[in-house]
Amino acid sequence: MRHSRILQAGVACDQTEEHSNTLIADQDTQWLPATTGTVLGIALNHADLREQMAEAFNEKPHVNPPKTPVLHIKTDNTHIGNGAAIPAPDDGETIYAGPSLGIVIGQQATRVSAADALDYVKGYTVVNEVSLAENSFYRPAVKAKCRDGFCPIGPWVVDAADVKEPEALQIATYVNGEMQHCTTTAKLHYGIAEIVEYVSSFITLQPGDLLIAGTPQRTEKLALKAGDTVAIEIEQIGRLENPVVAEQEIAQ
């Protein structure tokens, strides 16, 4: 089954339907973010990115490689649904797509072991963890990652039972219909169970909370500008597509 939230006559409605592998994009549906809880991202969790950063990890200001998963918060103003506009900053600063698997929590999780962790996962969704350039991982990335609309989530959550091998899913990113980037959840440095174990060791997770498993390096391939349409497609999960619109245009 898959679960989505849509806006009908101004009211948020939950919708559950049989999950099929066909990727449906209903033009008339106004999608809401597929989850409603806290959204935490796991930074530096993509094997290629860690390789790229290997030298920088040993230099100032980092000095040492990260000992633990590196978490950040995507505030509620960032959450948008499939089809909603990602606002591009008016100063023209480049923004980057952040394709990732989203892990959705199904029941309250405190101090969960890796062995039990998957019992607490309701399902999976597609996340576009949009960011300004990641020039540094030293200070919390509020400015780069918490702008309005910088976290499309959806279109839906697919039940974990319907997803085979969640750590071997292809993730493709399309800009204006052309595939620009392709990666896989096999590149996650910390796997799904380890992430849930670590986070729940000091944060009680609630049903509906979302963990962004890991984004790749933000190369020019993932750069977005006003006028673009970006789509992230994860096999077995779905396709999350959003237009990029100048902030000024949205304000009007």
Partner 1 sequence: MKRARILHNGQQTDVTVNDDHQAVLADGTVINENEAHWLPPCDGKIFVLGLNYADHASELAFSAPEEPLVFLKGPNTLIGHNQKTYRPDNVDYMHYEAELVAIIGKTAKNVSREDAMDYIGGYTVGNDYAIRDYLENYYRPNLRVKSRDTCTPVGPFIIDADEVGDPGNLELKAYINGELKQHGNTKDMIFDIPFLVEYLSAIMTLQPGDMIFTGTPEGLADVKPGDEVVIEVEKVGRLTNTIITEDEYVVSLNA
**Contact footprint for partner 1 (CB under 8 A):** 38, 40, 43-44, 61-64, 66-68, 70-73, 75-78, 110-111, 137-143, 146-148, 202-206
Token pair 């633990």 is at which residue? 68
Cβ closer to partner 1: 137 or 159? 137
d(CA 50, CA 44): 6
Closest distance between partner 1 and the C-beta of residue 51, in Å?
A: 16
Cβ closer to partner 1: 110 or 176? 110
> For 83, left (φ over 0), alpha (ψ -120 to 50), or beta?
left
* Preceding omega of 155 cis (within 30 degrees of 0): yes
Closest distance between partner 1 and the C-beta of residue 28, in Å?
A: 27
Closest distance between partner 1 and the C-beta of residue 118, in Å?
A: 21
Cβ closer to partner 1: 43 or 158? 43
Closest distance between partner 1 and the C-beta of residue 68, in Å?
A: 6
Cβ closer to partner 1: 140 or 227? 140
Residue 93 makes CB contacts below 8 A (sequence gap 6+) with: 132, 133
Closest distance between partner 1 and the C-beta of residue 233, in Å?
A: 28
Closest distance between partner 1 and the C-beta of residue 77, in Å?
A: 5
d(CA 216, CA 194): 18
Cβ closer to partner 1: 148 or 235? 148
Closest distance between partner 1 and the C-beta of residue 151, in Å?
A: 11
Residue 193 parent element (H or E): helix 192-200
Burial of 113-136, coded b for 16+ CB within 10 Å and e otherwise, reads: eeeebeebbbbbbbbbbbbbebee
How does DSSP assign 71-117, residue by residue?
EEE--GGGEE-TTPPEEEPTT---EE--EEEEEEE-S-BSS--HHHH
Cβ closer to partner 1: 148 or 167? 148
Cβ closer to partner 1: 143 or 225? 143
Helices vs strands, H then E, count in the chain: 5, 18
